Structure 1
Amino acid sequence: MRQPSAFISYSWDNAAHKRWVAAFAARLEQNGVKVWLDQWHVKAGDSLTKFMESKIRSSGHVIVVCTPAYARKSNTRQGGVGFEQQIISANRLAGIPRRKILPVLRAGDHKPGKTCAIPTHLGGIYAVDARSKRLASSTLEELLRAIFNTPAKRPRTSTAPLLRLPTMKQDGWALRNGVKTNKKHPKTFYIPTEKQRTSLKPTDLAKLGFEILDRYDGELTGERMWVEVTGKVGPYYVGSLRNNPLTRHRHLKWGSPVVFLPEHVIDIVPGKSGSPGKRKS
């Protein structure tokens, strides 16, 4: 499958906002999306307008990080945001699918007024809510589903299981973000490279960090267990658990199906397919 790509359109509200956008872009790349971001790809002397025009047209999606400042600049066609608005509008008039544009609400609200964050030309398009202090896993998952064209609901005629990440509320267990832990403890917590984590093949073994709620005493326990990859659907890897957890859980056991993302992988053992992964522990 061809790697999906996305251009991120945003306004330089302040330094904190720029850092959030960069971290958001990195999270998408860690899970298999090729991201085009001015902070990464535009150097001194480069044409910013040429970069914006080229990547908006060539990328599979345009992610618009919406804030009140972004909306004001877009509606009045100020600066780079205004230029991007013209390109996006021209693309839509030229027949580019509406679903190519993915608004992300970072601050403000949908309602007209001083705090409105949605530009006029994006009115009526559903916006993913990312107004929490940190990017929630559910928000990231919603965006990845849109970028990889993986519906959140299966067709009525389908008998295939619905793919989603496990949650503590629904399943009594969840997965830890290995990339996040590696950033906190880079000298002691090693993980495979981004290329290795996004290139798993069937029969590879991936080690994941689990958080499991004990069915009897309700205590939360962390365990690291192996999952054998059986395939990939959209942004997700699907696999089969190859350990029996020490924590007592009603459904999680050897052979249980596990759905995960590249950011959850903390170790790899190549299978028969000859994965580029290399075991770290």
Structure 2
Amino acid sequence: MNETPSYSTIDENGWALVSAEERAAAAPDTFQIPPRVTRESLSPGDAAKLLFDIETRKGDHVIDRGVDRMWVIVKARTEGGYIGVLDNNPGIAENLRLREGDLVSFRPEHVANIGQPPREHLVEKYGASFFEG
């Protein structure tokens, strides 16, 4: 697991988070997100669906670029945001530095959806220490 979460960039890591708030503002009839107050009050164990802009390269050539929606399980609150564990497999690409289980830093504006996975599932997958500070 990557122990140093930061706000990623395409150039450095092959991916970056997309603002769900901006997407919702651009298409309010078709792209709806939870209210801001709800996105600001996530707790450890909550699942946040985030929009990952992923660029696939082979050598110096971009062969694909698109936005994937993936779940991140909140592990801790931070100043103005969260740190969570990526709960999906993003695939493999030459330049992509993102794997299932990596820590991801995000803010409320990145949250497109919220879920509550069963605690038993999280303990089974990540261990009982997942909920320890």
With the length of structure 2 as denominator, give the TM-score of the two structures. Answer: 0.76
Shift of 1:272: 5.8
Cα distance in 2 for residues equivalent to 1:268 and 1:177: 15
1:197 offset after TM fit, Å? 0.3
Deviation digits for residues 30-75 of structure 1, max 9, x if unmatched?
xxxxxxxxxxxxxxxxxxxxxxxxxxxxxxxxxxxxxxxxxxxxxx
Query: Structure 1, unaligned stretches of length 5 or more?
Result: 1-159, 274-281
Q: Does 2:115 align with 1:269? A: yes
- Give the fraction of aligned pairs with identical amino acids, expressed as a percent: 36
Three-state SS of the structure 2 residue aligned to 1:214 is: strand
Asked if the contact 2:6/2:104 (under 8 Å) is kept, the reply is: no
In 2, Cα distance between the equivalents of 1:209 and 1:231? 19
Match of residue 81, structure 2, among 236, 247, 258: 236
Counterpart-to-counterpart distance in 2, 1:251 and 1:222: 16
Structure number with bigger Rg: 1
CA contact (8 A) 2:13 2:98 kept: no
**Distance in 2 between residues matched to 1:170 and 1:208, nearest whole Å:** 19
Contact 2:48/2:73 (CA < 8 Å) preserved in 1? Answer: yes
Deviation at 1:215, TM superposition (A): 3.5
* SS of residue paired to 2:23: helix
Report Cα offsets for 1:235-258 as digits up to 9, x if no partner: 121011111124635421211111
Instruction: Flag the 1:266–1:253 CA change in 2: closer, same or farther, 3 A.
Output: same
The count of corresponding residues between Structure 1 and Structure 2 is 113
1:166-177 alignment to 2 at 5 Å?
166-177=8-19
| TM-score normalised over the length of structure 1 | 0.38
Higher relative contact order (CA 8 A, sep 6+): 2
Aligned-residue Cα RMSD (Å) equals: 2.0
Find out whether 1:213 has 2:55 as its counterpart: yes
Residue identity matched to 2:13: D
Corresponding residue number in structure 1 for 2:100: 254
